[in-house]
Chains A and B, each alone.
Chain A
Amino acid sequence: MAVDSKTVFDRPVTLRDVVTHYCPGCTHGVIHRLVAETLDELGLRERTCGVAPVGCSVLCYNYFDTDFMEAPHGRAPALATGFKRMRPDMIVFTYQGDGDLASIGMGEIVHAANRGEKFTTIFINNAVYGMTGGQMAPTTLPGQITTTCPAGRDVNHTGEPIRIAELLAALATPGYIERVAVHTPAHILKAKKAIRKAFTLQRDNKCYTLVEVLSTCPTNWGNTPGEAIEWLDENMIKYFPLGCYKDYVEPEGK
């Protein structure tokens, strides 16, 4: 008897079939998939150029089957600016972690957002420097233990964590800024919606778009993948509330 079969789930074409270098329980892979699915669905793969950061996701070009540039630490928004200004017909995205974007690259991200550069930033916030082995990031939570704040982050010594979505939403120019998470299926679906919206706005040449994604780092948080999910849910969301901080509004008279 012939069996009718229908594929209901597959790897996006934009995502390469390769072995991952990310640690078990890290949610970079989920976020990669959401970006790849979006590029597939919007048919953008062949005219996309990504910009890789410095950090764990420096090798993200091994997974995305699109053209890529690899930026110096923190400078991805400047590269994206130069590229998109010369090729406004292409789709450009930066994929940056919290050390890259919120510390060494703070100048570049603020000014790119403020100029309204028409690219998309996928900002991965896991409250720690991953690749160098778990040092304090600008997003490390008060009291959170890292290798450079072994007694826990003392906000009297290093200040409060920086909330990037809120900070950039305070600027007049950027068009769409949303913070999402990927630690449960429901959150993953919401994150996908936000990422798709960001790339759609870019495709339609509307505005600067940034999606901040709260992500796990069990290796450097010192817990299991399951515990990491719980830690993110219980601690990170309190400090970094999810939601849309700036929504695109069509200018009047258009």
Chain B
Amino acid sequence: MAKVLMKGNEAIAEAALRAGAEGYFCYPITPQTEVAEYLSKRMPEVGGMFLQGESELAVANMLFGAASTGKRVFTTSSSPGISLMQEAISYMAGAELPVVIINIMRGGPGLGGILPAQSDYFQAVKGGGHGDYRTLVLAPSTVQEAVDLTMLCFYLAQKYRNPVMMIGDGMIGQMMEAVEFPESYEEPPLPPPDEWAATGAKGRKARIIKSLFLDPVSLENNVLILEKKYQQMIREEVRCESYKISAKNKVLIVAYGTTARICQTVIDELEADGVSVGLFRPISLYPFPEKEILKEATRKNIKSVLTIEMSMAQMMEDVERAIQGRRPVHFYGRTGGIVPTPEEVKEQVLKVLSVKRRSTKKKS
């Protein structure tokens, strides 16, 4: 199929349809509203359900009800809206429901701003709601990857019967890039919804979709069932990519999403200047590629690690945990909707390398 030029939010919407999404529930919020606008037209065309709810609180709970039917359903929102959804996300994790939630992140805390940020890392990765649960979290760095990961999200949600989140900063949602949708989309077989969904107690025992276990032994058992799934995710769903990692690198940058792309530009420029730096890009944020980072960071040639984020050292905590103190981990981040420029990232790399900036470079 030929490439088409699409805005990230619209490409995500189309990708969800290609992955077989049958229901979409939403509430408008910048910078993801184009997903809702696009699907308000496209969903009815493919015979699916589009519904705008009265709040993100209601939308997440509509998703709960819709997912209980066994159909593929999802929602998209942005940071403050995702905060409102945390109640239902906890319940859906407890009740083992497959849903896809896409967060096109903006700056926070509070109402914050509407420009790109990565400051919902903790909320997504550490579980924003109450209780012992995890959401599987993926983070794209291009519009094409947003398409590919959106489709993957639906499969993973069904595979684990667990909420799956994709977090993209506002840049991913708002920018236009050439994307290609797969010609056909096939997934490995999954257990049919008839085996777990509420489809009516005809010829079988009545089924209860719930997260309440008043007996502590039963509740602990349910948490252990969930934990088993999370351990399987750690074994099977780690995704990451590296860029120009070599034995010549002195510094390893760790960055994800849009930030990782800025770092690629920096790495190319530094390479032209004769400075060798590698990039490690986590794609799955939960499970976090701990072993993979440890391996790359502890190569003999690597002197230190630099984490770059559009947030205040949130992912850095996981990077430090992965590296276990075996290399110094530095941090540089911008937040509040400010996207770091290649120049300022470059300066940070040089600082870490303790190499003086060349006087020929302009300085603002």
Interface residues of A (CB under 8 A from B): 45-49, 51-52, 58, 61, 64-72, 75, 78-87, 90, 107-108, 111
Contact = CB atoms under 8 A, between A and B. Distances in A.
B64 A78 contact: yes
Contact of B68 (A48, A61, A69, A108): A69
Contacts of B91: 71-72
A66 to B, nearest CB: 5
23 contacts: A46-B203, A47-B200, A47-B202, A48-B201, A68-B198, A68-B210, A69-B95, A70-B210, A72-B87, A78-B62, A79-B61, A79-B62, A79-B64, A81-B51, A82-B64, A83-B66, A85-B51, A85-B66, A107-B57, A107-B58, A108-B57, A111-B54, A111-B58
Q: Interface residues of B toward A: which range?
A: 35 or more
Contact of B208 (A67, A72, A90, A107): A67
Interface in B244-262: none
A51 B65 contact: yes
Nearest to B87: A72
A129 B205 CA distance: 32
Given A45-B201, A111-B54, A58 B212 contact: yes
A65 B201 CA distance: 8
Closest 8 CB pairs of A and B: A82-B65, A79-B65, A78-B61, A82-B66, A82-B62, A70-B210, A83-B65, A46-B202
B69 interface: yes
B207 interface: yes
B318 interface: no
A69 to B, nearest CB: 5
A78 B62 CA distance: 5
B23 A67 contact: no
B257 to A, nearest CB: 30
Nearest to B49: A85
Interface in B289-312: none
Contacts of A67: 198-201, 206-209
Interface string B50-93: 01011101110111111111010100000000000001100100
Given A70-B212, A78-B53, A87-B69, 18 more contacts: A46-B200, A52-B210, A68-B198, A68-B207, A68-B210, A69-B209, A71-B64, A72-B61, A78-B65, A80-B65, A81-B51, A81-B58, A82-B62, A82-B73, A86-B22, A107-B57, A107-B58, A108-B57
Nearest to A108: B58
Contacts of A48: 200-201
Contacts, number: 131
B212 A49 contact: no
Contacts of B68: 49, 69, 79, 82-83
Q: Which of B22, B65, B199, B207 has the most CB of A within 10 A?
A: B65
A202 to B, nearest CB: 15
A48 B87 CA distance: 26
B206 A86 contact: no
Contact of A69 (B54, B64, B199, B200): B64
A111 B198 contact: no
B201 A86 contact: no
B206 A68 contact: yes
A30 B170 CA distance: 54
B211 interface: yes
A70 B68 CA distance: 10
B154 interface: no
A108 B58 CA distance: 6
Given A78-B65, A79-B62, A85-B23, A69 B210 contact: yes
A189 B59 CA distance: 37
B121 interface: no
A64 B205 CA distance: 11
A125 to B, nearest CB: 22
A39 to B, nearest CB: 11
Given A70-B208, A83-B65, A49 B22 contact: no
A90 B64 contact: no
Given A67-B201, A69-B198, A111-B53, A61 B61 contact: no
Interface string B191-227: 0000000111111001111111000000000000000
B65 A81 contact: yes
Nearest to B198: A67
B73 A86 contact: yes
B88 to A, nearest CB: 6
B186 to A, nearest CB: 23
Contacts of B54: 107-108, 111
A56 to B, nearest CB: 13
A200 to B, nearest CB: 18
B198 A71 contact: no
Contacts of B286: none
A125 B54 CA distance: 25
Contacts of B88: 72, 75
B364 to A, nearest CB: 49
Interface in B139-156: none
Contact of B206 (A58, A65, A81): A65
B347 to A, nearest CB: 48
B21 to A, nearest CB: 11
Nearest to B62: A82
A91 B304 CA distance: 61
A49 B23 contact: no
